[in-house]
Chain A
Amino acid sequence: MSVPAGIKPDIARLPRRMPGRAPAFAAALIIGLLLAFSASGYHLFQYAQVLIYMIALIGLNLLTGFNGSISLGHGAFFAIGGYGAAILMAHLSVPWWLTLPIMAGLCFIAGFGFGMPALRLEGLYLALATFALAITMPGILNYKRFDAFTGGTSGLQVDKPKVPLHLPINQDQFLFLCCLAAALVMLFIAQNLVSGRVGRAMVALRDHPVAAQTMGINSAMVKATCFGIAALYAGVAGALDAALVGFVAPDSYSVFLSLSLLVGMVVGGLGSLWGMLAGAIFIEFVPNLADSFSDMFGESAKALPWAVYGVFLIAILLLAPHGIAGALRRLVTSVRDMMAKASSRPATELPAISVGNQPAEPNHRTTQGS
């Protein structure tokens, strides 16, 4: 596939062959195992939730960071995953681990189906359509005629997965390790996806849709597939979440879930897959500031973390548009530059380094003209 000169730089920006991918995964695994055998039950629950958010955020980032489509309704697919898994477990007694691939497939189809028409819309309109989906979702889950399946407003209780094979670990540790495994596998898949042909097509469509189409990329197909994959990630995350929490209710999937996923993605860094871990940590632990806030300012200040969210968001957009991952990378680059200067290496090498290390930015060329 020959590449026109115009989009070469953007493709060069892709994390193509990640040096040191194995060490990163090994480190994550070791840290995860250390945590699993040192942290208390409640903390493990929180860490597991972080990993679940991370999975959902990776999916969202594939869509937004790499394909440039805005989704304000990612929580809706999270909800489908969660409810679907809960219904399968509670009504059809499907084992919980089997719900993951089933919900992955189902959410891919749902996402593809929603994405096919919706992705003909650009920028703002796609944001609007997905926003509408996010607002509508709790109402659909509440719908009276589905009560037999969904349990209505009171939600659905499921049995938490039991530790298999008499392994010498408790339930919290088991669930955490399952989430860890799932997160690493999903991350691995995502990395392969973006460094492969599909990933290049996604980025090309984000950066220059006209040129990409001229080169024979089927825009509608790639975009809808990407939407489907993003939904798949959300679905897996939702299904894991249902198993971890053991309970689903319409309230847990309000529009704020979708919006906080968006926050997590921006905080973590658009176009950075590992950055999603930082984003997930942010959305899991900032609401926990709630208690300390309410101690200081009274009961109703429980809501204030959302204000913190908002202020953080604006600050990040102004100060570090590429999120935590981008800021770290910039730090690393500038330290490297300084070291390079100190050892007075030829300066010609520097721009190449900084370009190659720049995270993929969300692109606007698609939307600027409209």
Chain B
Amino acid sequence: MTAFLNQCFSGLAMGGIFAILALSLVMIFQATALLNFAQGEMAMASTYLAWQLIQHRVPYWLAFFLTVILSFAAGVLIERLIIRRFASAPVLTVVIVFIALVFIIDSVVGWIFGYQLQEFPSPFPDHNWFNNPLVSSHQSGILLVTLIVMAVVWAFFRFTTLGLAMRAAAQNPASSRLVGIKVGWMLALGWGLAAAIGSIAGMMAAPLVYLDPSMMSSLLLYGFAGAVLGGINNPWGAVLGGLIVGVSVNLVGAYLVGTQLQLAVALTMIIGVLLVRPSGLFGRTIVTRV
């Protein structure tokens, strides 16, 4: 029983990472109706940045927030410099641009930092909180961070004018433009937010999976699975989806198919959800006129 609960909790912790990643995917999807295939590499680059800062003896949390801010800026830059040029391009073109970004980020990071595995510190203490036998402090820390990220994102969109403007720009660009919202900048901000949120996922994942330029590729797939399961246009659904994916992949991996096929579980989930219920568990169904 303890082993089972252990599996559940470690799945939940991984699910927290997937949830944050899914949330960042949803940010971009909501703003631009695109799936960002480069999200994983962006998060990986951010994590390397944090690692570099920590190597230079910057205190962890300072490095953490610096990374979040710099990632935000990088996300905005990527949107302004590259993605913007393809705003009215066909889906295929945009997908290829994302793939190009994957190549560029991956190889530049590999060039600067090399391809060997690096250890990444966890900000949480070594011993389990309250001496509980089930959850390590990093695992519970991830869940805590997930909740905080959710709360901050929710508060941002609910209580700030900027959040309201971003929601408006995503929902009805034409009318938003008429009331004076700079829709283009809102999209860039969406990218910035996604990059910032993604960097948190990277920094939470790195102590578990070690730092390496390819660390995010499988995590991104789980993030996609979470986002699709919860509904790609619903942030809360995506978070819940990420948690569900974390637990179920971990349990199926531990008890049914072995850890090597965990990715195949995610693949099956993605295709299954897309076929049976394309809008996900909590997403809005969008009807388009032909």
Contacts and interface: CB of A to CB of B under 8 A. Distances in A.
B271 A129 contact: yes
A139 B110 contact: no
A129 B107 contact: no
Nearest to A317: B93
Contact of A136 (B37, B264, B275): B264
B258 interface: yes
B85 A135 contact: no
B99 A259 contact: yes
B97 to A, nearest CB: 6
Interface in A84-103: none
Contacts of B92: 64, 68, 70, 123, 270, 362, 364
Count class of interface residues, chain A: 35 or more
A329 B30 CA distance: 39
Interface string A131-163: 111011001101111000000000000000000
B111 interface: yes
A310 to B, nearest CB: 4
Contacts of B275: 117, 120-121
Contact of A314 (B34, B97, B110, B111): B97
Nearest to B220: A135
Given A262-B99, A307-B103, A311-B104, A128 B270 contact: yes
Interface in B120-169: none
Interface string B74-88: 000000001001100
A128 B267 CA distance: 10
B224 A304 contact: no
A125 B104 contact: no
A310 B102 contact: yes
A232 B112 CA distance: 39
B181 interface: no
Contacts of A370: 33, 286, 288
B290 interface: yes
B93 to A, nearest CB: 6
B218 interface: yes
Contacts of B100: 309-311, 313-314, 317
Interface stretch (A20-28, A39-47, A295-303, A350-358): A295-303
A306 B107 contact: yes
Main secondary structure of the interface of A (DSSP, over half): helix
A307 B90 contact: no
Contacts of B207: none
B278 interface: yes
Contact of B260 (A123, A143, A270): A143
A72 interface: yes
Main secondary structure of the interface of B (DSSP, over half): helix
A259 B115 contact: no
A62 interface: no
A142 B263 CA distance: 12
Contacts of A369: 288-290
Contacts of A321: 93
Contacts of A118: 271
Interface string B245-274: 000000000000010111110110011001
- From B97, B100, B267, name the one whose CB has the most chain A CB atoms within 10 angstroms: B100
A232 B197 CA distance: 41
B290 A127 contact: no
B279 to A, nearest CB: 11
- From B95, B96, B224, name the one whose CB has the most chain A CB atoms within 10 angstroms: B96
Interface string B204-227: 000000000100011001001100
A246 interface: no
Nearest to B286: A370
A361 B231 CA distance: 32
A64 B34 CA distance: 19
A210 interface: yes
Contact of A255 (B86, B101, B217, B262): B217
A111 B86 CA distance: 31
Contacts of A266: 96
A306 B90 contact: no
A150 to B, nearest CB: 12
B117 interface: no
B35 interface: yes
A297 B110 CA distance: 13
Contacts of B90: 362-364, 367-368
A180 interface: no
A125 B228 CA distance: 9
Given A117-B271, A132-B270, A144-B258, A301 B111 contact: yes
A190 B283 CA distance: 41
Contacts of B113: 300
Contact of A140 (B82, B106, B224, B261): B261
Contacts of A72: 37, 95, 99
A313 B96 contact: yes
A144 B258 CA distance: 9
Please provide the 6 A-B residue pairs with the shortest distance between their CB atoms, ordered closest to farther.
A364-B90, A310-B103, A310-B104, A306-B107, A303-B110, A313-B100
26 contacts: A132-B267, A132-B270, A136-B221, A136-B266, A139-B261, A139-B262, A139-B264, A143-B260, A143-B261, A144-B258, A145-B258, A255-B217, A300-B111, A304-B107, A306-B103, A306-B104, A310-B99, A310-B101, A313-B97, A314-B97, A317-B89, A318-B85, A363-B90, A364-B89, A364-B91, A369-B290
Interface of B: 33-35, 37, 82, 85-86, 89-93, 95-97, 99-104, 106-108, 110-115, 213, 217-218, 221, 224-225, 228, 258, 260-264, 266-267, 270-271, 274-275, 278, 286, 288-290
Given A262-B96, A303-B111, 10 more contacts: A128-B224, A131-B37, A132-B267, A139-B262, A142-B260, A143-B261, A297-B111, A300-B111, A362-B90, A370-B286
